[in-house]
Every structure is written in C-alpha cells, then in structure tokens.
Amino acid sequence: MAADSPPRTAVLSVRNIVRTFRSPRGIIRALDDVSFDVAEGTITGLIGPDGAGKTTLLRILAGILGADSGRATILGFDPATEAPALQRHLGYMPQKFGLYEDLTVGENLDLHADLHGVPPERRAELYAPLLSMTALGPFRTRLAGKLSGGMKQKLGVACSLVHAPPLLLLDEPTVGVDPVSRRELWEILARQVRENRTTLLVSTAYMDEASRFDRVVILHAGKVLGEGRPEDLVSEARGHVFHVAYPSWSPRKLEPFLAKVPGILDAVGEDGGVRVVVEGSAPPLPAEISTTRIEPVPPRFEDAFMQRLARGAGKTSRTAPSPENLGWQNKKPGLADGGHEEAIIIRELTRDFGSFRAVDHLTFSVGRGEIFGLLGANGAGKTTTFRMLSGLLLPTSGELRIDGKDVLGSRVAEIRGRLGYMSQKFSLYSQLTVHQNLVFFTSAYGMSGKRQRDRIAEIEAFFELEAYREESAGLLPLGFRQRLALAASVAHEPSILLLDEPTSGVDPVARREFWRTISQLSLWGVSVLVTTHFMTEAEYCDRVAIMAQGQLLALGSPAEIRARARTPETPDPTLEDAFIRLLEQAQPPGVPA
C-alpha cells in the first residue's frame, strides 16, 4: 500500500467546474464555474441552501457524475477519467443512507472492506478503532435497518473509513440526527483528522457546524459566494449585527416587519427581541418604531452566511401578508396579552407497545396561540404522542383533550377537523398541480362551492403560490413544496397545527420564511405543536418540552431551559448545550437507547 500512496501536494483542487441539468423548467446550472482548493489534513465545509449544488459537486468529485466542463484533481487523480484509481483511495458518504439495511453492521463493514481490497489480516486492526469510536462494537450482529438514525450515520462513516482513505467526502452527514448523536459524529470525524491526518470535505446545512471548520466554501445557485476561514467571514459581519427590541411589539410581530425593511439583510427572533444583520453600520429603522432599544451584538457564522447570501442573491422584498386576508380572525381572534385558554391538555398519557413503554405518564398543556416545541432524541416518544393526538393511535391510559373535547370520547372526524398535520415526509400528490392539491385537501375536509373557492384563493395568496398554481407539486423547488405542504395542512382552518420535523433538510433561508408564517398563524390564535432537531428552531417556541424514553425531562421557555444548564464553565449555554446536558443527566453516556 505504501508504494501506492498518492502524491500529497494537492489533495483536492476544483477548477471552473460547470454542470447543467435539463429540467421541465429549462436548463438549470447546478454548478457554475466553481473553483477552490482543499489543504491536506483539514476540514472544509461546503455550505449553501438547498439546490446550491453541494451534492452535485461532491458526486462529481467522487467520480460518479460527469461535469460539463472544468477540471478537478483529487489525490492526484482526475475523477472524470481516472475514477477507478481514485475510488481505491477515496472515502465517500452519500446523503441518503447508502448501506444495506438487511445486512448486519459487521456484514456492511466486511462488504466495504472487500470492495476496497482491505486484506483480511488488517481488518481487526482497522475495525477496532472504528467500532470503539462509533460505539457500534456491541451491535456487530444487528441489522443496519434496526439501528437508530444516529447510529446509522455512524455506521455510514465507519464504512466510508474502513480502508483508511486519506480523503473523505461527506454529504450532509448530520441531517435528521438528534443533537447528541450529532455531537458524537463530529467527535469521530475530528479525531480522524487529528490522528490520521485525514482530509474532510463536508457539506452541511447546520450553520453552527460550519463555524468549527478550518475553511468554508459558500455555494449559492451553483456559484461560490465566499470562501475562507469561518473566523474571517464572521469578522466581516462585525459591526453589522444588532439586537433590536420594541417593547410594544412582540418579537413575533417585529421580526417579519423588520425582515422587510430595506437595508436589513436578515432578521430572526431571539431573546425577547430580534437579531438583525444590516447593510450599513446601524439598523435603518422607520420612524414608527423609533423608540426601539438597539444593542450591537457579536456576529455568529449564521449572520455572516446570511449577509453573504443577501448580497449575492439580491434581496427580494415580499409584500407583507395582512391578517385581514385570512379567515382566522373571524373564527378565533388572537388573544390579548395575558389571556389564556388551553387548546391541548395532556394528562398522564401513557402508551405501551407490548412490554415497551413508548410514552410514560406524559403531562403538559398547550395554550391557544402558543408555539410549543417537543424535543428529544430519535425514539423518545414524540411521534407516538403525535399519533395519539391526531387520533391515529389509542392511548393505553391517560387523558387527552383538544379544545376542551375529550379525544377518546368524541368522534374522530370531529377532532380531525380541528387539527392540521404536516409530516417531515412530502405527503402531497406530486402529479397533481398546486391548485389541484389544495382542492383535494379542502374537499377531504368537506369544503365545497364558493366557500372552498374563496378559501383556496386566500391560501394561494397568503402563501404566494399563485405563480405556481398550475405546476406539478413534485416539480416545485423544495422551499415551495414545504410551503405548499403547510398550505395544505392549514387549508381547512384548523385551530391546532401539528408539525413533525417540518423543516428537516431545509436551508436557513427557507426555514426563516417557514417560521415567519408559523408565527403569523400563532398570532391569529392557531396553537402549534412542533417537533424538531434544530435547536435554533426551538428558539421560536414559546415553551419547549424535552422528552427522553417517553418521559418529560424538562418543560419551560427556551430561556428557562437554557438557564438550567448554566455552569461556571458555560455561563451562556445554547439551547443545544442545555438539551445535551439534560439528556446526559437522564442517561449516562455510552449507553445507547
């Protein structure tokens, strides 16, 4: 193998790569003149919104997709012409779990070792550190399909490292993985870089991950928007980030307003106010909110990213949706501050599957117009709770009330009419147009005639779907599909909205738009119950509940939860720090669920 070692000078260089795709909307330039370099033994992040071209680029580098023009050199090979030689040395982990679910952990490892020509006598030596790092040792004979989401990703990493490749390409390795597993995964990768001088090129949608990389390449619409050390990019945003508070408006009202002010590049609710990134040196606030408290705050990577993106993409201003054009205000007016009414009441809710208790005496309630986050690792019981709420699953014991009605004693159809449900999977009919989907979903809830027509027109206007009315749902860009899914789930005017990991895999830009809509709905009195793995997203919630093994570990506002994790070492913990700490307290590390 030693004589086989590829030259170490240029580990990876990309020069003027162009790749186009034909689609029903015309030619799409997935990669448009992309160039950058990756130094040996470093972690380089490929960051950008969905459809930026990250996956296309990684596939070209792995030699499994051709480029239209341009050139790449990896480990001294050209992936376009020397793929077989390159693939002997390269590690690649695709975005979609690429392992065989009907093979065991050990069989998957052996398959990859065989395919990479790892001699049997070296395997024990190579497997041992991989199995101990990933904590998969005790699960060698378990089928890969029976592993949790986090463990699957770890196995994917282990398989792509089985031949000790000098370079590893990873395509969004942490999507859909809970925060604890995510942190473990990064520890494995960091150790690989530290101890074996492995070079990593990783694409990700998590901004907090990006700040830990040696270098980042920001991709947008196929073009490189920025490149450099994350610290350098962050320092560019210094002096442009502020925390804005306006006592008479809640952040939920203030944020969408500020987001539309010219000169403000990004606005996101935080800590009783709104965090804004501005073009100049001070927020250009309009006169009507002049009595605002403005404080400069140190920038984060996400601020820098949004700044670059806004500059590169050219900020588009949308017309503000007004409450008058939707139907809620004449049904359930938003409550005045201080008013409280319970929309969901859950008491001692328990559900057993055989001897396994999925939900264990769960008690909490969600107020009218409240956004309530249900957080927890995979398998904590969130989905089971959701299924019981929507009447798809009967509780073993306990009480469940929706709008004062006992779910168990009422007709399911009656309860369903009050619920809107949006799952993480795309659950619309991809062959139907946007309009046809909305007609179908409103009809399913019994709407017809003028009322239905008016309602669909309202919904299409509110979600700005008019331009896509006659497009097939399956051909929409991801952000618009998400928007349509939300539109379909609220089309029948539900008073309660259940969102199951609604923004999994959605980029920061689309995520902000999504949450602004959710905030808007909550202002009109819709109660929202949401599960998510994004802790930054949990910050949008009024209150969050953290679940583990079917039980409630903590309940409170994001600020309260953060406060619980405050220690002398971490005086200002993030919600993610708090989440991990709570979970570790409940369950000692090293014991997988």
Partner 1 sequence: MTASSSARERLVRVRAMVKKESLQIVRDPSSLAIAIVLPVLLLLIFGYGVSLDARHVPIAVVTESRTPASEGFVAGLRQSPWFVPRSYPDIHSAVAALRRQDVEGILWLRENFGRSIESFRTHGVHVVVDGVDDNTARLVEGYLTNTWDTWIGFRNERGRALSFQPVALDVRIWFNPDSRSRDFLVPGLIAVIMTLIGALLTSMVVAREWERGTLESLFSTPVTIGEILVSKFIPYFILGMAGMGVSVIMGHFLFEVPLRGTLGVLFLTSALFLTTALGMGLVISTVSKNQFVAGQIAIVFTFLPAFILSGFIFDIHSMPFFIRVLTHIIPASYFVTILQSVFLAGNIPGVIIPNAIALFAFSLFLFALLVRISRKRIL
Residues that bind partner 1 (CB under 8 A): 3-4, 6, 59, 62-66, 82-85, 87-88, 90, 92-103, 107, 110-112, 114-117, 143, 159
For helices 434-444 and 449-462, angle between their N-to-C axes, nearest 10 degrees: 130
From the list 443, 3, 18, 475, the residue with the least C-alpha distance to 222 is 18
Least separation in angstroms between residue 324's CB and partner 1 is 46
First-residue to last-residue Cα distance in the chain: 39
In terms of CB distance, is 96 or 340 closer to partner 1?
Answer: 96
> Residue 78 or 214: which CB sits closer to partner 1?
78
Residue 535: CA count within 13 A, CB half-sphere: 24
Q: Which two tokens stand for residue 456?
A: 């669909």
CB of 205 to partner 1, least distance (A): 18
Residues 6+ apart with CB under 8 A from 313: 220, 221
Beta partners for residue 37, in sequence order: 13
Taking alpha carbons only, the member of 299, 345, 297, 251 closest to residue 557 is 251
32 vs 342 by CB, closer to partner 1: 32
CB 201 within 8 A of CB 165: no
Q: b/e for 527-562, b at 16 or more Cβ within 10 A? A: bbbbbbbbbbbbbbbbbbbbbbbbbbbbeeebeebb
How does DSSP classify residue 570?
-
Token digits for 481? 């599909």
- CA Rg, the chain, in Å? 25
In angstroms, give the least distance from the CB of 401 to partner 1: 41
Strand partners, 20: 29
Least CB distance to partner 1 at residue 141 (A): 13
Judged by beta carbon, residue 59 or residue 533, the one nearer partner 1 is 59
User: How would DSSP label each residue in 83-130?
Assistant: HHHHHTTEEEE-SS--S-TTSBHHHHHHHHHHHTT--HHHHHHHHHHH
> 565 with 581: CB under 8 angstroms?
yes
Provide φ and ψ at 351, rounded to 5°: -140, 125
CB 27 within 8 A of CB 21: yes
User: How many C-beta neighbours within 10 Å does residue 337 have?
Assistant: 6
Helix segments in 375-503, DSSP class H: 382-389, 412-416, 434-444, 449-462, 478-490
**β-strand partners of 45:** 202, 216
Query: Closer CB to partner 1, residue 117 or residue 449?
Result: 117
Burial of residue 486 (number of CB atoms within 10 Å: 0-12, 13-18, 19+): buried
Least Å distance, CB 485 to partner 1, is 22
What is the nearest approach in angstroms of partner 1 to the Cβ of residue 478? 17
Q: Is 65 or 593 the residue whose CB approaches partner 1 more closely?
A: 65
Number of Cβ atoms within 10 Å of the Cβ of 517: 19
Q: How far is the CB of 124 from partner 1 (least distance, A)?
A: 17
Closest CB to partner 1 among residues 76, 367: 76
* Shortest distance (Å) from residue 203 CB to partner 1: 14
Nearer to partner 1, 53 or 573 (CB): 53
Least CB distance to partner 1 at residue 171 (A): 9
> Nearer Cβ to partner 1, position 88 or 253?
88
Least distance (Å) between residue 79 CB and partner 1: 10
Least distance to partner 1 from the beta carbon of 59, Å?
A: 6
For residue 189, the minimal CB distance to partner 1 (Å) is 18
User: Of 6 and 269, which has the nearer Cβ to partner 1?
Assistant: 6
Token pair, residue 349, equals 């809710």
Based on CB atoms, which residue is closest to partner 1, 83 or 193?
A: 83
Taking the complex as a whole, how short is the minimal distance between the CB of residue 298 and partner 1, in angstroms? 40
Q: Which residue number, 431 or 443, has a Cβ lying nearer to partner 1?
A: 431
Cα–Cα distance measured from residue 501 to residue 494, given in angstroms and rounded to the nearest whole number: 19
Select 112 or 416, whichever has its Cβ closest to partner 1.
112
Residue 436 to residue 124: CA distance in whole angstroms: 57
CA separation for the pair 321, 435 (Å, rounded):
20
